[in-house]
């Protein structure tokens, strides 16, 4: 079922959903299910599975020269989505990125997803490769999420890349996209960022999931600005309970988000990570309660491979 249909069927109740990372290469589905199992009692209607592009490592050859090798640490998004749907009978939302994909590879991935009965995709540009300064698309790939959305929408209409052929059966993906209450870090300003977000919706995105934020006012302001711009699709808040003291600097550097003083001070004064995680859980519960009162259709949690804190938060809410 489509994500948007789940929102409609919820009759105004707030849903609980979360995002998981594919396990590291060499792990198996048992590892993954052990993170998902503790969250299933809160009845997520769908689970997002992230996509991780290749990284480059340098290996020294016998002659002393360095060899650049591509490695993918967390492959398997498509297979994991199918396994989750099969095992838990819930929908999945595979993240689909432009980075590292040619248009043809994207088409093939979408065909696989379609055959597997997956009805949703979150269409993203993806981050740049760690060793590169800026995002570089594949020679025949997409540069922005807008272009990727265009390809999915075309396939939904039955237009595939080899337009010599007339195909009658299209796919029927519900498309979600990313939004940034604190602005995407590359955007020159929030107005420009919102203009592109609006474009994503005009092209066919049916809902938005936000980057994590730790101050609800950021989300409320973002929603107000989106509505003023004429962006009227559901905007799902993304939440991350902080779990360690190092996340105080790690999350801002990785995700370009601000940690409010009250939370930062509380985490800093914790004696250890156990205490920090407790502060993170309590903060996320307060955030969630206020967002539910605001009437959000869904609370979407970034589990980042750790379900324990998300479970503690959900236990108080659902």
Contacts to ligand FAD by CB under 6 A? 50-51, 53, 95, 97, 124-127, 144-146, 178, 184, 186-187, 192-193, 196, 209, 211, 238
CB of 282 to ligand FAD, least distance (A): 24
Looking at beta carbons only, is 88 or 144 nearer to ligand FAD? 144
Looking at beta carbons only, is 146 or 309 nearer to ligand FAD? 146
**The total number of residues written for the chain in this structure:** 318
Looking at beta carbons only, is 283 or 301 nearer to ligand FAD? 301
Q: What is the DSSP letter of 124?
A: E
Looking at beta carbons only, is 106 or 211 nearer to ligand FAD? 211
Residue 7 Cα to chain centre, angstroms? 17
Does an H or E element contain 118, and which? none
CB of 97 to ligand FAD, least distance (A): 5
Looking at beta carbons only, is 181 or 280 nearer to ligand FAD? 181
Separation in Å, CA 58 to CA 63, 74, 171: 14, 19, 40
**121: which strand partners?**
175
User: How many Cβ atoms are within 10 Å of 7's Cβ, its own excluded?
Assistant: 20
CB of 84 to ligand FAD, least distance (A): 15
Q: 178-213 in b/e burial notation, b at 16+ Cβ within 10 A?
A: bbbbbbbeeeeebeebbeebebbbebbbbbbbbbbb
Start-to-end C-alpha separation, the chain: 22
Does an H or E element contain 170, and which? none
Looking at beta carbons only, is 266 or 310 nearer to ligand FAD? 310
CB of 117 to ligand FAD, least distance (A): 21
CB of 190 to ligand FAD, least distance (A): 9
Q: Are 22 and 81 in contact (CB under 8 A)?
A: no
CB of 187 to ligand FAD, least distance (A): 4
């Amino acid at each position: 079922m489509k994500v948007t249909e789940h929102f409609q069927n919820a009759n105004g109740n707030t849903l609980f959903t979360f995002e998981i990372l594919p396990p590291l290469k060499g792990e198996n589905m048992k590892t993954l299910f052990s993170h998902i199992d503790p969250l299933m009692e809160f009845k997520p209607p769908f689970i997002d599975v992230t996509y991780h592009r290749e990284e480059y490592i340098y290996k020294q050859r016998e002659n002393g020269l360095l060899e650049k090798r591509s490695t993918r640490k967390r492959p398997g998004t498509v297979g994991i989505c199918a396994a989750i749907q099969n095992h838990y009978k819930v929908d999945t939302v595979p993240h689909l990125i432009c980075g590292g994909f040619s248009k043809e590879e994207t088409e093939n991935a979408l065909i696989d997803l379609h055959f597997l009965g997956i009805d949703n995709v979150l269409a993203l540009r993806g981050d740049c490769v760690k060793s590169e300064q800026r995002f570089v698309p594949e020679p025949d790939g997409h540069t922005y999420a807008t272009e990727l959305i265009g390809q999915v929408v075309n396939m939904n209409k039955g237009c595939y890349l080899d337009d010599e052929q007339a195909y009658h059966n299209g796919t029927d993906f519900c498309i979600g996209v990313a939004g940034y209450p604190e602005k995407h870090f590359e955007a020159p300003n929030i107005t420009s960022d919102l203009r592109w977000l609006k474009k994503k919706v005009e092209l066919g995105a049916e809902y938005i999931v936000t980057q994590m934020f730790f101050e609800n006012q950021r989300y409320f302001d973002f929603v107000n600005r989106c509505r003023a711009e004429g962006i009227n699709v559901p905007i799902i808040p993304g939440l991350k309970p902080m779990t360690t003291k190092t996340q105080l600097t790690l999350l801002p550097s990785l995700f370009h988000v601000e940690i409010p003083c009250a939370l930062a001070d509380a985490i800093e004064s914790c004696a250890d990570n156990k205490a920090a995680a407790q502060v993170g859980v309590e903060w996320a519960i307060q955030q969630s309660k206020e967002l539910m009162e605001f009437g959000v259709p869904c609370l979407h949690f970034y589990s980042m491979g750790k379900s324990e804190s998300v479970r503690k938060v959900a236990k108080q809410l659902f």
